[in-house]
Chain A
């Protein structure tokens, strides 16, 4: 049985940054090869002519869920050593709205703007600069936003626990939902006027 190699002490946490760089490069490569460095492709989700963002992220979610559960079933991964991001409900909702608006307006999220910048796209570079201005404003005004930032704390909460079902059943339902969304998206793409970019 193994856990995550850093939290189980096999590798020192001082290697965190190296792993972050290697995983970041892999993530960037996956984003770029999926066409996520194109703002017009990404905003296609909002206008209904290209659902590649939905398809890629749902595919990643169901493949990772199924893989983790099978590894756990076979005794190859110890779930208890995995870090679960705590839920802060109020800040998640407010942050989600801000990010969604920025996503639709700019055509990038933080990761994809870096991909676009890396391949020399000017719109990506502008978004990247704007992101840093936003980070600066947020950091400087953090004392005013701190109470909101930490409000609605619910600890490490899992959706299947809230619904009272097993992780396996939840993953099964998620796969069904994903396949339904893939089919719906493909149908919608055919109905909406094709956009060339």
Chain B
């Protein structure tokens, strides 16, 4: 190699070596109470069941669903692609690796918001980022998507679009041919056959 390239190659090796030997602070340190308080009051930490459902149907590769319910409840009924983690093992090494995945929105859900809020607080205090809660949990998801949630008053075009989306989502998840107005006879313990698809890749680059 020419002399100038040899110098550049040596420089790259020194810089790379610097990365290896530089002292590393503990990356998983607890965030300050002020930052935590600010994060708690942030409404954007909640995702609605419609938003989560839309991302499931779209096979959003950035979505990582965390089911915080018991293993029995998870086996009976769970959102497609969910990982079952109970709160007592939330921050063990294997789960920390899952939560630390870059480029993923980690969405927590349980039956209601109580468990999800506790888990969100633990994760956020542990400096984990992009942690969200599915507002209302599985109860809300079931009542909104599987059952028909009536809209009071005269529905706007946005409401009608939402109803139409929920009808399509219901058919996606339970394969039902029922109309919007037909009563839903589903129960929580009913076995549901999910239609699982591989996540779609976002458009990528290349030379």
Q: How far is the CA of A84 from the CA of B102 in the complex (A)?
A: 7
Chain B 36-74: CB-based contact to A (< 8 A → 1; otherwise 0):
000000000000000000000000011000000000000
Contacts of B102 in A (CB 8 A): 79-80, 82, 84, 156, 158
* Interfacial chain B residues near A175, Cβ < 8 Å: 12-13, 15-16
> Which of the candidate stretches A105-113, A119-127, A133-141 sits at the interface with the other chain?
A105-113
Q: Is the interface of B mostly helix, strand, loop or mixed?
A: loop
Q: Are B207 and A112 in contact (CB under 8 A)?
A: yes
A186 at the interface (CB under 8 A from B): yes
Give the distance in Å from the alpha carbon of A172 to the alpha carbon of B200 in the complex. 33
Least CB distance from A107 to B in Å reads 13
Number of interface residues, chain B, beta carbon within 8 A: 30
| Residues in A neighbouring B20, C-beta threshold 8 A | 168-169, 172
Residues of A within 8 Å of B97, CB to CB, are: 161
| Top 9 A-B residue pairs of the complex, sorted by shortest distance between their CB atoms | A150-B198, A168-B19, A175-B16, A84-B103, A172-B16, A111-B207, A153-B198, A80-B129, A179-B9
B residues contacting A by CB (< 8 A) are 1, 5, 9, 12-13, 15-17, 19-20, 22, 61-62, 97, 100-104, 129-130, 197-202, 204, 206-207
Residues of chain A whose beta carbon lies under 8 Å from any beta carbon of chain B: 31, 57, 62-63, 66, 69-70, 73, 78-86, 88, 109-112, 150-151, 153, 155-156, 158, 161, 168-169, 171-172, 174-176, 178-179, 182-183, 186
Q: Can you pick out 6 interface pairs between chain A and chain B where the beta carbons lie within 8 Å of each other?
A: A31-B207, A86-B199, A86-B201, A155-B101, A179-B9, A186-B1
